[in-house]
Structure 1
């Protein structure tokens, strides 16, 4: 049902609760027995969202992954995190309609959006207009190279704030701050905090979150949703540890 993901995201921001998204890159994910067990485990722990996508998608596994997950749990919102118009499937529940507002590549600001718009109009996907902000994570990542954009320096929170404000004035309803897959360092708390205070919208944060302490810091700074991708690929127990922490955190918020 359209509007479900929007309601969940905006409720998080309004109620102060926190959520976790598992980012699955179809090029790096083998749909074997271990993957089935991973999906069952994160479903049991109540994963909030699953993002599907990446900077490079050379395989045809996206729809296969969607079908596998839906066979296990139909309630987990499956959201496309597309790197290009080729990464589209109307089997998903929603799509992060990303505008790379921190860059100056017109193709990723509006160009590819025009190409995919007719497909989205015919689909049942929830379209989530999202300002995508790349931040330097201490390492050149695939998204930097593919997007041909320079990330915002991580010691310049004022640039991130101005960028987020511009996106807000343009009418974008969600914001995703990303240090990129495999980033050495996460986005600084000060930058997250200042961006969150400048916008009236749900804030998603990802990249460089390798330890639970990184996740705690991102939440404390103002993130509504954290995205675990590379860390889960290497060690799924890290994702389950994060989910257990968030479950306890949200329970404490209910009690208070």
Structure 2
């Protein structure tokens, strides 16, 4: 198995109350190797914790060189965030084996998993069973359209909490709450807080995070990991800002220990 063990890292950091930052790389939105190299070097310099790689719809033949370049130019864990069973790459460290527990589309609850299972079973990838929850953002995102599901409303924390509890009881190991790429608003603190209080699993939150303030609010509400992708593509300085906030919150934890 490739090192590092991503789930162990996430679980230990969650138990300690330490926050993490993942930069999401959508292969379709990487224009060239120079721009990706810039993001990689910026991520390493400012202490990003993980690279997530994927998107709801990958139409370009770029997954291969993106993953290889991330591995070649950094030692950060590379974690696949697949939109389908086609988005598997053996050179990554791990894959989030996503089950869309917020929807009722059987293809994304179990169908895609059946097709991918024999490939993943033979691979060296760390396979992490992950409950994926789409949260409404006021518009129909690509993730909602492609998955053919209705997101959980952003003003229904009890629905989100019960969905998360069901995922935990089913034996899933992570929860990923996502407003979707390009979402106009991030997931509300009430929804994040309700889920955090309801489960003991590491909690990943992404979508609609376009400022350091939004990242801070998600982390303070209970997210263990914030994921930013679209915002960094438009404003690389956001990477620096979010990294600073994550390090600041972890430093404050050290002071109080």
Give the TM-score taking structure 1 as reference length.
0.97
C-alpha distance in 2, partners of 1:91/1:135? 31
Hey, what does 1:226 align to over in structure 2? 226
Question: Superposed, which structure 2 residues align to 1:89-100 within 5 Å?
Answer: 89-100=89-100
C-alpha distance in 1, partners of 2:116/2:36? 30
Unaligned runs of 5+ in 1: none
Q: Is this contact kept in 2: 1:2–1:126, CA < 8 A?
A: no
C-alpha distance in 2, partners of 1:228/1:35? 15
Q: Is this contact kept in 1: 2:67–2:89, CA < 8 A?
A: no
Asked if residue 150 in structure 1 is aligned to residue 150 in structure 2, the reply is yes
C-alpha distance in 1, partners of 2:90/2:235? 30
Q: Is this contact kept in 1: 2:4–2:93, CA < 8 A?
A: no
Hey, what does 2:58 align to over in structure 1? 57
Q: What is the number of equivalent residue pairs in this alignment?
A: 255
C-alpha distance in 1, partners of 2:153/2:198? 18
Hey, what does 1:44 align to over in structure 2? 45
Hey, what does 1:247 align to over in structure 2? 247
Unaligned runs of 5+ in 2: none
Hey, what does 1:8 align to over in structure 2? 9
C-alpha distance in 1, partners of 2:71/2:173? 27
Hey, what does 2:80 align to over in structure 1? 80
Q: What secondary structure sits across from 1:232 in the alignment?
A: helix
Q: Is this contact kept in 1: 2:135–2:177, CA < 8 A?
A: yes
Hey, what does 2:120 align to over in structure 1? 120
Q: Is this contact kept in 2: 1:85–1:112, CA < 8 A?
A: yes
C-alpha distance in 2, partners of 1:30/1:68? 14
Cα displacement (A) at 1:3: 6.3
Cα displacement (A) at 1:2: 5.6
Question: For residues 86 and 117 of structure 1, do their structure 2 counterparts lie closer, same or farther at Cα, with a shift above 3 Å needed?
Answer: same
Hey, what does 2:215 align to over in structure 1? 215
Hey, what does 1:201 align to over in structure 2? 201
Cα displacement (A) at 1:70: 1.6
C-alpha offsets along residues 172-216 of structure 1, whole Å, 9 cap, x if unaligned? 010001110111111110110010111110000011111111111
Give the TM-score taking structure 2 as reference length.
0.96
Q: What secondary structure sits across from 1:21 in the alignment?
A: strand
